[in-house]
Amino acid sequence: MRATHTPGDSPGAGRAPSPDQAHRKAIERLLSLQEQSGCWEGEMVWNTMILSQYVIVCRLVGHDLPERTRAAMTLHYRTTLTPVGGWGLHPESDTSPYCTALAHVALRLLGNHRDDPLCARSAAWLRSRSAGAGSVPTWGRLWLAFAGLYDYRAVNPLPPELFLLPRRLPFHPDRLYCHTRTIYQAMAYLYGIRFSGDLGHSLTAELRDDLFGRERRLPFRTRRRLLGTDTVVPPHPLLRAAFDALALYERRPPRRTRERALARCLDRVTHEQEATHHLGLSPVSSLLNVLVLHASGAGPADVDRALKALDHWRWEDPERGIRYVGARTQTWDTAFAVEALLTHRPDADTDTDAHADTDAHADTDTHADVALRRACAYLRDAQVTEDVPRPEVTARAPAAGGWCVSDSAHRWPVSDCTAEAVSALLHTATHVPDAPAPDERRLRQAVAFLLHRQNRDGGFGSYEPRRGSRLLEAANPAEMFSHCMVEDSYTECTGSALVALAELRRQAGQTHRETVSRAIRRGARFLLRTQCADGSWRAAWGVNRVYGTLFAVRGLRAAGLAPTHPRLKRSAAWLESVQRGDGGWGEHHRGCAEDRYVEHPESQPVTTAWALLALLQIAGPDSASVREGVRWLCERQGEDGSWHQGAVTGVFFGTAMLDYRRYADCFPLWALGAHLAARRRTG
């Protein structure tokens, strides 16, 4: 630990609750947040992009939004406006030309006049850019082209013929990451037919002036001026050369080949819609699918059904209006909530506060058991038990046995969500009488699902095992995202899988037990091999090194490594070295893009909890760093049992920062419970 805390230098000094009291208050808060279905879910906050695209799609397919809905959507833009009059890529980012351009178009389509302060400020900011909205990344240019505001000649080519290539080729689209290929199969169709909607002559003219100002003709001349502040991965020189060659091809593509390619992409989009009950893998791809259905001549009923399904991704409250989340997180949040409630069972602890109300404790314990049974019933029923039909159409991996990030509706299960759900179910079955648990057949399915996601290097992918070379990242055309082209082996997925497989090994027969043991050994070797020199681990889905280190430590301890193992001691030393002077931990999201640890200016409760959960498995409850971290959590707890998380906690596609709102309710509780449980064990 780098600095020593002195009494009185924090807001809560002298009046903080004890760890037991803080733990009790946090339990009561978490129990109050459980939904009727038995799950927990907090909003996964991203940006206004999906809302803007939804509004544009509604206009292009002729769907009128009610006045109340339009007002609630405008409210969301109003509450997320940056100080300069635009919108950012995530809650902590600077103003983004991409998000601002799409938001400005959406606001006008919602009926806001160009003189409205929201529209006037965003237009002024865009016109202050050297090329207006002409520097938005590829996705932005495509969406503006869909709306009839951008010339396709200024868009990098995305020919649908790529999906006609032999699948054995190392660069076939089916070797790409699932989110990427589902997005591009729809984009390729729309690009291939040069889909362009009609917003009306006068509105189109006004929007072009707003977006590009006096330079509005510039984007219609060249593809070369494309790099702006949203660009984090400039196109590789080889990719630029490929774009030039494809642009020549696009001047006169063979008609029959183009027709076959369009039919292939349309078949893939239709299959994705059917396989996911019209939800799509995500709202990003689903919105594109709606446009494809509309552009292909599908009946109004089909388009309306697909558009209605997007309500699955909708989030609304009176404070921030209507928006669309990047993902729903019922399974993910519920699994962590269950583990947080289970880690320390207060009724078994003899070291409770002398002034505590015993009857109140008993009531809370009873309520917790009821909540845990309801949560496990939800998790049990959320398992995907059947594979999607005709998986070869879109190269789908087996889905049976897994759990999705949300519920089972869209049937895109993920390795770490599966692992955390399994662990929560098995741990609850051990500690809570009459708790629902999956039967043996479903557990076997879960084992098969997890083992299928293990890569040759021993690490685990997320939705699928890795299919393509990491060299494909050089062909990343998105510009605004990194690490988005291929599946990989991830620290977090591997750590979660090892925890679940260690539990499942106890349930398996002799044959399966050896198979699972071999997978655990390979996963542990992967984690040891990928540890950074400073003792930390990289993360792909959270911010950042502290998050990765937690999941690696969990996995290695589940695999059987002792706390005294040199690699674990090294990770503990690193965590202690980055502890802040006030006793907490805080990590800045900038480190995700820079591939290093970057300290946040302030300690954060979720990051502190992650660090404590890792340290408690290595250094134990008597560590000075642990004691200081627990004290920090107790001092920062609100009267309602909550913690304020001021920084983003998640990441997607390398640069898309996310704020998982329920993390602040689960992880600090989990850390306090782990501390109390460890203290009880050591006497």
Give the integer Cα–Cα distance in Å for 420 and 84.
Answer: 41
Give the integer Cα–Cα distance in Å for 454 and 495.
Answer: 12
**Integer-rounded Cα radius of gyration of the chain:** 26
The percent of residues above 70 in pLDDT, for the chain, comes to 92
Looking at residue 399, its pLDDT comes to 97
Looking at residue 464, its pLDDT comes to 97
Ramachandran assignment for 411, one of left (phi > 0), alpha (psi -120 to 50 degrees), beta (any other): left
pTM attached to this predicted model: 0.93
pLDDT at 471 over 60: yes
CB distance 548 to 537 below 8 Å = yes
Identify the weakest region by mean pLDDT among 114-123, 234-243, 281-290: 234-243
Task: Band the pLDDT of 218: cuts 50, 70, 90.
Answer: very low
Q: What angle do CA 22, 23, 27 make, to 5 degrees?
A: 115
Q: Which residue has the tokens 């599908």?
A: 298
Looking at residue 348, its pLDDT comes to 46
Give the integer Cα–Cα distance in Å for 411 and 293.
Answer: 21
What is the average pLDDT value for the chain, to the nearest integer? 92
Q: Where are the alpha helices (DSSP H) in 388-490?
A: 415-431, 440-452
pLDDT average, residue stretch 82-108: 95
Q: Which residue has the tokens 């209605």?
A: 308
Task: Band the pLDDT of 356: cuts 50, 70, 90.
Answer: very low
Residue partners of 116: CB distance under 8 A and separation at least 6? 107
Identify the weakest region by mean pLDDT among 161-175, 269-283, 500-514, 664-678: 500-514
Could you read off the pLDDT of 225-264 as tens digits, one per residue?
A: 555 678 888 888 899 999 999 999 999 999 999 999 999 9
pLDDT average, residue stretch 321-340: 97
Task: Band the pLDDT of 478: cuts 50, 70, 90.
Answer: confident
Give the integer Cα–Cα distance in Å for 501 and 440.
Answer: 14
Q: What number of other Cβ atoms are within 10 A of residue 35's Cβ?
A: 13
CB distance 587 to 599 below 8 Å = yes
Task: Band the pLDDT of 213: cuts 50, 70, 90.
Answer: confident
pLDDT at 301 over 70: yes
Residue 21 Cα to chain centre, angstroms: 32
CB distance 158 to 194 below 8 Å = no
Contacts by residues 556-562 (CB-CB < 8 Å, ≥ 24 positions apart): 556/495, 556/498, 556/524, 556/527, 556/528, 557/617, 558/498, 558/499, 558/501, 558/502, 558/520, 559/498, 559/502, 559/520, 559/521, 559/523, 559/524, 560/520, 560/524, 561/524
Count H helices, E strands: the chain? 24, 5
β-strand partners of 454: 460
One-letter amino acid at 98 equals Y
Q: What number of other Cβ atoms are within 10 A of residue 248's Cβ?
A: 9
Q: Which residue has the higher pLDDT, 510 or 324?
A: 324
Q: What number of other Cβ atoms are within 10 A of residue 142's Cβ?
A: 21
Looking at residue 362, its pLDDT comes to 54
